Amino acid sequence: MKIIGIFFVLVASLGLLACAQRQYQPSATEIKRDTTMAGIRNSLDRIGQCADGLRMDTSRLGDNTDLTILSATKLVDSQVLYYTDASTNKVELMSSAAKIAPIQRQALLTYLAANQKCRQLSRSELSQYPSFLLVYENYYGDTDILYAKLISKEITIGEANRQKSALLAKAKTEFTLASEKINNQFNAAINQEVQTAQAQDAQRRAIAAQYLMNQQNINAQQQMNNKPINTTCNRWGNQVNCTTQ
């Protein structure tokens, strides 16, 4: 079901530093980091909009079903699988000992067929961010097994919701690790840029200091060369002694 709401805060938190007001020109890596995190946030937003859109879609997938996508999704959300962690019926569904009924099974199959476009959208949106896409793919694969067990009545509705909760927790952990990995990569690159810039600044300061010292030596030599020459002569009888300074 919907996992966008749980993960969005994690990705948004990584963008806080990027959104902070800077008093200097950002580096190329900082710009790339900001662009990347904004791209991920926008992709997750569009995936979430797709999931929400199913809950407003009054169309039908085919002539063989009496359920619209909207009615099927509402039935699934209310009777089969909770939608988000904020759903008021979450605990109730997790406690259910009932097996899936025929109308619930039809609704779930209709919802899963309609949700394929959201899965395809997530693959397209996150194709540039493989570590994040992998989280979705793992979640989709795990939930497909859950759906199969539920539809075949191998597990109860309550067990299906408990497994869903565990899978969401697992996906959240994987998403956090993926977020930390990409953030650490950017931080390492930024730190390298800072160290390089500091080394270049130190080199420029050393060159400037050497240039200043050389200029001082040149000026001192010029002053020596331009100093006036004075010759003083003293006469003692028939002798004349001269001193040049």
DSSP structure string for 134-171: HHHHHHHHHHHHHHHHHHTTSS-HHHHHHHHHHHHHHH
Confidence category of residue 21, pLDDT binned at 50, 70, 90: very low
The pLDDT score that the predictor gives to residue 2 is: 59
In a domain, 165, yes or no: yes
pLDDT value, residue 139: 95
Residue range 11-20: average pLDDT?
50
In a domain, 234, yes or no: no
Asked if residues 14 and 147 have their Cβ atoms less than 8 Å apart, the reply is no
pLDDT at 17: 47
Q: Which of 18-32, 36-50, 87-101, 207-221 has the lowest mean pLDDT?
A: 18-32
**Does residue 219 lie in a domain region?**
no
What domain range includes position 114? 4-19+27-193
For residue 220, tell me if it sits in a domain: no
Q: State residue 120's pLDDT score.
A: 97
Most distant CA pair in the chain, distance: 142
Task: Assign 43 to helix, strand or coil.
Answer: helix
Tell me, what's the pLDDT at 183?
Answer: 83
229: in domain: no
Per-residue pLDDT, 209? 74
pLDDT at position 197 is 65
Contact 100, 108 (CB under 8 A): yes
Within a domain: 177: yes
Instruction: State residue 83 phi and psi, 5-degree precision.
Output: -85, -55
Angle between the 157-225 and 28-54 helix axes, to the nearest 10 degrees?
160
Position 33 scores a pLDDT of 86
Lowest mean pLDDT among 48-52, 104-108, 163-167, 198-202: 198-202
The answer to whether residue 231 is domain-embedded is no
Greater confidence (187 vs 178) lies with 178
pLDDT of residue 29: 85
pLDDT band at 162 (very low <50, low <70, confident <90, very high): very high
pLDDT at 210 over 50: yes
Which of the four pLDDT bands, split at 50, 70 and 90, describes residue 31?
confident
In a domain, 235, yes or no: no
Q: Which residue has the higher pLDDT, 66 or 135?
A: 135
Inter-helix orientation angle 130-151/157-225, to 10°: 180
Task: Provide the mean pLDDT of the chain.
Answer: 84
Mean pLDDT calculated for residue range 222-240? 66
Return the pLDDT at 245. Answer: 62
Stretch among 66-75, 78-87, 108-117, 214-223 having the lowest mean pLDDT: 214-223
Count structural domains, the chain: 1
Model confidence band, residue 156 (pLDDT cutoffs 50, 70, 90): very high
